[in-house]
Amino acid sequence: MNAPNTELLAEERLQVVEQALSNGALAKIRRMLNGGMAPADVAHLLESSPQKDRVVLWNLIESELDGEVLQYLGEEVRAEIVGRMTQGELLNAVAAFETDDLVDLLQELPERVSEQVLQAMDFQDRERIEAVLSYSEDTAGGLMNTDTITVRPDVTLDVAFRFLRRHPTLPDILDNLLVVNRRDEFIGILPLNILLTSDSGLLVRDVMRTETEVLRPDVSSDEVARRFQRMDLVSAPVVSDNNKLLGRITIDDVVDVIKEQAEHALLQLQGLDEDVDLFAPVLRTARRRGVWLGINLLTAFIASAVIGLFEATLQQVVALAVLMPIVASMGGIAGTQSLTIVIRAMALGQITPARGRSLVIKEISVGLLNGIFWSCAVALVAYLWFGDATLGAIIGISIVVNLATAALAGTTLPGLLKRIGVDPALAGGVLLTTITDVVGFFTFLGLAALAF
Amino acid sequence: MNAPNTELLAEERLQVVEQALSNGALAKIRRMLNGGMAPADVAHLLESSPQKDRVVLWNLIESELDGEVLQYLGEEVRAEIVGRMTQGELLNAVAAFETDDLVDLLQELPERVSEQVLQAMDFQDRERIEAVLSYSEDTAGGLMNTDTITVRPDVTLDVAFRFLRRHPTLPDILDNLLVVNRRDEFIGILPLNILLTSDSGLLVRDVMRTETEVLRPDVSSDEVARRFQRMDLVSAPVVSDNNKLLGRITIDDVVDVIKEQAEHALLQLQGLDEDVDLFAPVLRTARRRGVWLGINLLTAFIASAVIGLFEATLQQVVALAVLMPIVASMGGIAGTQSLTIVIRAMALGQITPARGRSLVIKEISVGLLNGIFWSCAVALVAYLWFGDATLGAIIGISIVVNLATAALAGTTLPGLLKRIGVDPALAGGVLLTTITDVVGFFTFLGLAALAF
């Protein structure tokens, strides 16, 4: 019934290909790749393969499939493969692309190549593409397709329906016809299921829905994703400020935004990017990660400098050196939790200034409660370990102070960074641990310097 | 044209409600909530409000809207609100729920309440619900709806079409009719756009597609999400092992899975959960976070114990105490990056044993390269700071060793944890930093003990 390899899990298919590659059974792979395997699965296979396998696999794919496979590849892997194609191959491959996919690709290509692709298209297509190209990639305008099917409000459903049937093909995702007037101004939507089940003598205007989600082309893709999720949309029209219908956005493109949005902030916190090739060359990966290590090294040196202020005290009470990482680490863990929660809530549009204040109070209360609880435990262990009650008291106080600081920094940093135009996810984690390290070491060693 | 508050961004709407609440302008809020605001937006408003505001807002919502709003709420907030409803209110609210949403809710309710809800339904509905309830929540069976529209292969498109039109209402998301034989066995799909554009004298079997994505009810929801994404599906049939059609899954439900999947591993790494109420009471939040802090505290004590082994050396060379956090922190940062990359690739189904090995080699190479580069920088700074070349050499070697260890641990831990049935995202981060702390401190202080 369905092609046998559809039933294979992604990992199993990977293993089959791996074995065939190592046995040199290229004919088998060729049959598999071109024999009904979904283009998305072929793309997944390419992305999950080291670069040398990738070249072999790509050459086994028949050129008619190239375009479909390219559409499903991530940015970095796609750039690598497109870079190896001739101009003729590329033009062939992109011939069947939808507007938004083509625009994505064009934005990634070197200017010279993308000019050639545009020149090779007919006038109407080029005009459509250039309209979408004029919007930034991460806005509704950049996400939209121009494959709308429009209908006038003053025709009967029977006419609308026969008009629909005259199309030789319809878009894969078609839940609504879009109702526009003579000046191409958007009026409402006519859901296909209403068209199908209503009396065919009714007028479109009698059954269309006017209270519907409409997107302006400059709305951010994040906001588009939120609205699709909140309203369970399958598609939504994009309409200009003067109410002209520009295109529509479909759920398949929004799913990618939703996924990237969910991952983005969390990966950024660790200096990682969601769009990166798992098998990128060692040198390229090392360079990317190296920058991040360098930034974190700077913050580690700042912490060291704080410790350096107290060399004399450390010399006197060596137990301080043994215990001091505990204070810093507790602050870092708790602060990162607050930070992550707040960054995520900001991405979900859950924070206003007033809410922010009550959240700060809540997080600081949580920090103080946990601080008091765990500082008692740590103080007791420190006392039993080193037999010094003063040491126990000092570490206990330092942990309470550092957890409260961590909560305050974790909840307020994202808002402050956003206000000065810095991505909170990118800079927040580093700044936060710098603060908790400095405050942790300074409080702990400072109190010790006073006490001993 | 569209309701004015549709155009408000989520944050703006929140602020309007906040002001109205603090002015006591409840009538204004009541008009806003019940006057055409989307149920999803009402739910978002509730989730973004502290608990006391939430009670006020919920009481302002007209009871006809209760059900729709409940469907869009997250698990924790929904449980809180359902807990305050009478049984009558609850039964009224869930009357219009789709199968999968109702099943979700039933699974969250106390047994006694969910029994009452089931008893209040008619026989056919209850049977359908119980069929879905028999599958685990995170499988295709648990995600599916039973709102399929089926058609026989041996009828003409004209007949299929007239059959479709006879339905008083059709599901909101309807891209395919499902073709089944007399024994209710799944044969293929008839896409609506093919039905609409093909010659109405053709038979269903002539135009239906048989090479299509079919889901078994026990496939995990993660795998469902992957397939929807890879194939750009809007809906997919769920079919039993003996080929009986059980139901279908639609993209709106999968979007939630995709989002949770993307967030899950990354939030888990920080001991956080994706389903949690931002405004949960302080005590509940403190308890949840406290457990995580306690676990991390244990690992911090292990690190301290390692430092404690070298008290004598530390007393002799106090500069070691100043520099030692640098070694541990570099290892933690680099290891967490490798770990995150691997956990994410595992979630995307990109890792096989053979791929895993080449990834380990790649990550260790990256670790060594960055280790050598940054250790030179750190060694130089240490030398200039403390005027001691031996100290510089020791910290340099330790950083190279610790970054290589971090890469090895970060890439292999997830696979090992998965093999023994532990969630790599939950335990991976803690184990990893324990390893990098222990190796970092031990190498650095151990080499120092030998040298000084």
Q: In whole angstroms, what is the distance from residue B70 CA to residue B82 CA?
A: 8
- DSSP state letters, B92-111: HHHTT--HHHHHHHHHHS-H
Position B224 scores a pLDDT of: 92
- pLDDT band for position A96 (50/70/90)? confident
Q: Do A214 and B258 touch (CB under 8 A)?
A: no
Cβ pair B285, A337 in contact under 8 A: no
Q: Do B210 and A278 touch (CB under 8 A)?
A: no
Write the CA distances from B354 to A77, A167, A169, B417, integer angstroms.
20, 49, 44, 18
Average pLDDT value for residue range A409-421: 93
H or E element, residue B4 = none
Residue B427 has pLDDT above 80, yes or no: yes
Query: Any idea which of A299-313, A351-365, B207-221, B371-385 has the lowest mean pLDDT?
Result: A351-365
Considering the four listed CATH numbers 3.10.580.10, 3.40.190.10, 3.40.50.880, 3.40.50.300, the one that applies to the domain covering A150-264 is 3.10.580.10
Q: Do A263 and B262 touch (CB under 8 A)?
A: yes
Q: In whole angstroms, what is the distance from residue A251 CA to residue A229 CA?
A: 9
Q: Do B174 and A192 touch (CB under 8 A)?
A: yes
Q: In whole angstroms, what is the distance from residue B374 CA to residue A148 CA?
A: 55
Question: Strands A176-180, A186-191: parallel, antiparallel or unpaired by DSSP?
Answer: antiparallel
Q: In whole angstroms, what is the distance from residue B69 CA to residue B62 CA?
A: 11
DSSP, res A38: -
Q: Does A170 touch chain B (CB under 8 A)?
A: yes
Note the pLDDT tens digit of each residue in B61-117. 988 888 889 888 888 888 888 888 888 888 888 887 877 788 888 887 888 888 888
Note the pLDDT tens digit of each residue in A25-56. 888 889 888 887 888 888 888 888 888 888 89
Q: Which residue of B has its CA nearest to A73?
A: B230
Write the CA distances from A220 to A77, A105, B9, B413, integer angstroms.
25, 20, 11, 38
Token pair of A314 as six digits = 């450390």
Q: Do A326 and B301 touch (CB under 8 A)?
A: yes
What class does CATH assign to B150-251? alpha beta
Q: For all residues of chain B together, what is the average pLDDT?
A: 88
Position A12 scores a pLDDT of: 79
- pLDDT band for position B9 (50/70/90)? low
Residue A4 has pLDDT above 60, yes or no: no
Write the CA distances from A246 to A228, A335, B97, integer angstroms.
18, 45, 35
- pLDDT band for position A6 (50/70/90)? very low
- DSSP state letters, A386-442: H--HHHHHHHHHHHHHHHHHHHHHHHHHHHHHHHTT--HHHHHHHHHHHHHHHHHHH
| Highest-confidence segment of A445-449, B119-123, B165-169 | A445-449
Average pLDDT value for residue range B213-219: 91
For chain B, domain boundaries: 4-96, 150-251, 282-451
- DSSP state letters, A136-172: -TTBHHHH-BS---EE-TTSBHHHHHHHHHH-SS--S
Cβ pair A57, A45 in contact under 8 A: yes
| Highest-confidence segment of A59-73, B336-350, B363-377 | B363-377
Percent of chain B with pLDDT over 70: 97
Q: What residues in A contact B2, CB-CB < 8 Å?
A: 210-214
Percent of chain A with pLDDT over 70: 97
Among A248, A221, A228, A225, which residue's Cα sits nearest to residue A237? A248
Token pair of B192 as six digits = 């609506």
DSSP, res B436: H
Q: In whole angstroms, what is the distance from residue B175 CA to residue A235 CA?
A: 12
The residue among A293, A309, A361 with the most chain B CBs within 10 A of its CB, best to mutate, is A293
For residue B94, the tally of other CB atoms under 10 A from its CB is 21
Q: Do A318 and B314 touch (CB under 8 A)?
A: yes
Average pLDDT value for residue range B168-189: 91
Q: What is the largest CA-CA distance in chain A?
A: 95
H or E element, residue A184 = none
| Candidates A210, A214, A297; nearest CB to B330 | A297
Note the pLDDT tens digit of each residue in A254-266. 998 888 877 887 7
Token pair of A300 as six digits = 């580690």
- DSSP state letters, B163-212: HHHH-SS--SS--EEEEE-TT-BEEEEEEHHHHHHS-TTSBHHHH-B-S-
Average pLDDT value for residue range B20-32: 87
Position B3 scores a pLDDT of: 38
H or E element, residue A189 = strand A186-191
For residue A91, give how far its alpha carbon lies from the nearest alpha carbon of chain B (Å): 24
| Residues 85-144 (B) with a CB less than 8 A from some CB of A | none
| Residues 147-166 (A) with a CB less than 8 A from some CB of B | 164-165
Position A8 scores a pLDDT of: 61
Residue located via tokens 């078994």 = B216
Q: Does B316 touch chain A (CB under 8 A)?
A: no
Q: In whole angstroms, what is the distance from residue A400 CA to residue A364 CA?
A: 11
Token pair of B183 as six digits = 């024994």
- CATH architecture of the domain B282-451 equals Orthogonal Bundle (1.10)
- Burial class for B124, CB neighbours closer than 10 Å (0-12, 13-18, 19+): exposed
- pLDDT band for position A3 (50/70/90)? very low
3-state SS assignment for residue A246:
strand
For residue A396, the tally of other CB atoms under 10 A from its CB is 22
Position A275 scores a pLDDT of: 65
Residue located via tokens 């949580």 = A366
Q: Which residue has the higher pLDDT, A273 or B171?
A: B171
Average pLDDT value for residue range B384-411: 96
For residue A434, give how far its alpha carbon lies from the nearest alpha carbon of chain B (Å): 11
Residue A394 has pLDDT above 90, yes or no: yes
Q: In whole angstroms, what is the distance from residue B115 CA to residue B97 CA?
A: 16
Position B178 scores a pLDDT of: 95
H or E element, residue A339 = helix A319-347
Q: Does B391 touch chain A (CB under 8 A)?
A: no
User: b vs e for A352-368, b when ≥16 Cβ sit within 10 Å of the residue's Cβ?
Assistant: beebbeebbebbbbbbb
Average pLDDT value for residue range B112-131: 80
Q: Does A177 touch chain B (CB under 8 A)?
A: no
Residue B275 has pLDDT above 80, yes or no: no
Q: In whole angstroms, what is the distance from residue A240 CA to residue B42 CA?
A: 27
Q: What residues in A contact B355, CB-CB < 8 Å?
A: 14, 18, 48-50
Q: What residues in B contact A278, CB-CB < 8 Å?
A: 341, 345, 350, 359
Q: In whole angstroms, what is the distance from residue B191 CA to residue B207 CA?
A: 9
Cβ pair B42, B61 in contact under 8 A: yes
Q: Does B215 touch chain A (CB under 8 A)?
A: no
Average pLDDT value for residue range B24-45: 86
The residue among A245, A259, A346 with the most chain B CBs within 10 A of its CB, best to mutate, is A259
- Burial class for B359, CB neighbours closer than 10 Å (0-12, 13-18, 19+): buried
Q: Do A351 and B285 touch (CB under 8 A)?
A: no
